[in-house]
Amino acid sequence: MAHAVIPAINCENLECVKDTLDLAHEFLPEGGWIHLDVADARFTYNRTWGNPEEWKALRCGYRLEAHLMAEEPEKVIDSWLDAGAERLIVHLETLSLNRPEAMEYILRECKKRNAEAFLAINPETPVERLYAFANKFSGFQTLAVHPGLAGQKFYPLVIDKIRALREKYPKMQIEADGGINAETGKRAKDAGANILVAASYVFGAMNPKGAYQELLHL
């Protein structure tokens, strides 16, 4: 199965974002996808940089996939859509059955703005909980680490989740994120993931372009 690789920005401040984008410009063509981790220190233990207005001002030339690791993502989606996000990733754990109106609002606004909406789950969340939403979201994300910090170790149990999703939904976009390197990326791809997201493995490498190309040619 053909797959895409999306490099991820996980930063604490704007200067770090700019430096990471400078590295991306060395290998990622204009119009390519970039993944931005936005952690709110409520759903996550840490907070990352996440200023939609500053992002918009950067005019980096990339298509933005914003991973909203936020307790109440519905309160920030409009700002990210205004900033040009073409795909929003929100977490099932924050949109439980007790808050169906929040999920419907996110889906409605993404549709209105021609943006994709992906639904993510944490490593400990049963994959079966995604099944009820397959006809609502454009894709699923299986997070292979705890949300928030970059550089964490890949949880192998996620491979079975990816495989189960691919078997049940042959045409669904399935993204693997967290702890992705050449080894785990190949395992995720072979299990059925068609999008691999990597932060540390690419931007922490001595040769970011080489690391990106390595993942692209798994």
The backbone torsions φ and ψ at residue 92, rounded to the nearest 5 degrees and listed phi first, read: -55, -35
Active-site choice (37, 82, 160, 190): 37
**177 is known as an active-site residue:** yes
Which of these, 82, 94, 90, 120, lies nearest to 107 by C-alpha position? 90
Active-site choice (19, 22, 177, 190): 177
| Whole-number Å distance between alpha carbons of 167 and 179 | 23
| Whole-number Å distance between alpha carbons of 35 and 4 | 12
**37 is known as an active-site residue:** yes
The tokens for 173 are 């976009």
Burial of residue 17 (CB within 10 Å: 0-12, 13-18, 19+) is: buried
Interhelix angle 182-191/158-168, nearest 10 degrees: 30
Residue 12: its H or E element: none
Q: Using an 8 Å Cβ cutoff, are 109 and 76 in contact?
A: no
| Whole-number Å distance between alpha carbons of 64 and 67 | 10
| Whole-number Å distance between alpha carbons of 130 and 14 | 34
**Known catalytic residues?**
37, 177
